[in-house]
């Protein structure tokens, strides 16, 4: 069977083609799936998508009309998919329930250290043979407080590294993780975490309840010299409120691997384009802000696991089997409604 894959990165393509080679043909496209590109999938029963593809009711209808029956998303999050519309159409939707948590946790730490120790600013200077230390002073993290928002597999991996740094551990989640408690984590309410933490890192999914979890009130509660890191979903942070906060000179450093309006921007070369997103453009002007393009997951280990899980979802669908990765199957309500 021939499968079409949207949003395939250059480094991802050979891994994807190699994994599917013995079982299926796969057509890899670097464009995201959206209302404009959905007609390309006409005639494909199976479509695999990336996290920045748009699977609205309109797009799903176009796919369904063209013969698509399975959406296999190569990501854990699925806030970009209208699951109710897919269920109404009788489609099957799968995702990757889990992959290497270390990929994201380690990258979150890379970002935290980069903004704390002004690594990007230092590297830019030394390339110009400017070796001054002015404005490069950071802080020891040992003995300071880290607030981990979301203590699942990724949050736990981040916490283990924080424990190695000798940090005081605060956590917030709907359910406590015994492994984090064993490391000395103290679970507190969200407001307490924001107010007490020197470093705040976000590792929760994007839902209606968590959208703009970091809003103007949360930002106002944070220490003036706090560090904020987001490697989860852009919509967790009210970016306009963040810009207003940064304009007052508050927050020592902010590192964002995700952005709430990243679709159509991230994973593309926009260097020659006119930037119409005023919030993003302003955000990029702050010298204590580091923005990367949703790359925390992007290791050979994690991508390989994502591809293996995607292939397993395809095989389960073709064999008529259920699976933990299936969010929607014909005749059953979406996972969130069960």
Give the tens place of pLDDT for each residue, 185-196: 999 999 999 999
Give the tens place of pLDDT for each residue, 68-116: 999 999 999 898 999 999 999 999 999 999 999 999 999 999 999 999 9
The mean predicted confidence, pLDDT, of the chain is 95
Beta-bridge partners for 290:
255
pLDDT of residue 324: 82
Task: Look up tokens 């464009």; give the residue.
Answer: 31
**Which residues of the chain are modeled with pLDDT < 70?**
333, 335-338
Q: So which residues are the catalytic ones?
A: 233, 262
Select from 172, 166, 182 the least CA-distant residue to 152: 172
pLDDT of residue 99: 94
For the chain, the domains span: 2-99+300-333, 101-291
DSSP 49-112: E-TT--B-HHHHHHHHHTT--EEEESSS--TTB-HHHHHHHT-EEE------HHHHHHHHHHHH
| Percentage of residues of the chain with pLDDT beyond 90 | 90
Find all residues with CB under 8 Å of 21, minimum gap 6, and list them: none
Edge-to-edge order in the sheet of strand 289-291: 186-187, 168-172, 145-149, 199-202, 227-230, 253-256, 289-291
pLDDT of residue 299: 96
CB 327 within 8 A of CB 337: no
Do 2-99+300-333 and 101-291 have matching folds? yes
- pTM score: 0.90
Question: Rounded distance, CA 211 to CA 238, Å?
Answer: 8
CB 78 within 8 A of CB 92: no
Homologous superfamily of 2-99+300-333 in CATH? Answer: NAD(P)-binding Rossmann-like Domain (3.40.50.720)
Give the tens place of pLDDT for each residue, 150-165: 999 999 999 999 999 9
Query: Quick one: how far is CA 99 from the chain centroid?
Result: 13
Thinking of the domain 101-291, which architecture would CATH place it in?
3-Layer(aba) Sandwich (3.40)
pLDDT of residue 322: 80
pLDDT of residue 337: 56
pLDDT of residue 336: 58
């Amino acid at each position: 069977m021939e499968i079409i894959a949207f949003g395939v990165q250059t480094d991802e393509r050979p891994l994807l083609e190699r994994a599917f080679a013995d079982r299926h043909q796969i057509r890899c496209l670097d464009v995201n799936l959206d209302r404009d590109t959905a007609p390309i999938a006409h005639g494909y029963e199976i479509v695999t998508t990336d996290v920045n593809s748009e699977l609205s009711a309109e797009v799903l209808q176009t796919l369904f009309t063209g013969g698509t029956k399975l959406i296999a998303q190569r990501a854990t999050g699925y806030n970009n998919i209208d699951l109710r519309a897919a269920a109404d159409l009788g489609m099957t939707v799968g995702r990757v329930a889990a992959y290497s948590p270390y990929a994201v946790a380690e990258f979150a730490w890379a970002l935290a250290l980069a903004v704390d120790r002004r690594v990007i600013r230092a590297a830019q200077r030394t390339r110009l043979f400017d070796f001054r230390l002015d404005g490069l002073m950071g802080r020891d993290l040992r003995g300071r407080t880290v607030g981990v928002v979301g203590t699942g597999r990724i949050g736990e991996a981040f916490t283990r590294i924080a424990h190695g740094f000798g940090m005081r551990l605060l956590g917030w989640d709907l359910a406590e993780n015994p492994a984090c408690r064993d490391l000395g984590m103290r679970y507190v309410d969200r407001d307490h975490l924001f107010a007490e933490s020197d470093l705040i890192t976000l590792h929760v999914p994007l839902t209606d309840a968590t959208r703009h979890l970091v809003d103007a009130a949360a930002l106002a509660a944070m220490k003036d010299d706090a560090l904020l890191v987001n490697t989860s979903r852009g919509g967790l942070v009210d970016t306009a409120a963040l810009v207003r906060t940064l304009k007052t000179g508050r927050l020592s450093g902010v590192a964002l691997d995700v952005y709430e309006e990243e679709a159509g921007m991230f994973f593309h070369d926009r260097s020659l384009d006119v930037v119409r997103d005023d919030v993003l453009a302003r955000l990029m002007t702050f010298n204590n802000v580091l923005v990367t393009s949703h790359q925390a997951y992007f290791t050979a280990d994690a991508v390989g696991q994502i591809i293996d899980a995607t292939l397993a979802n395809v095989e389960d669908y073709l064999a008529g089997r259920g699976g933990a990765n299936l969010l929607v199957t014909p005749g059953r309500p979406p996972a969130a409604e069960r």
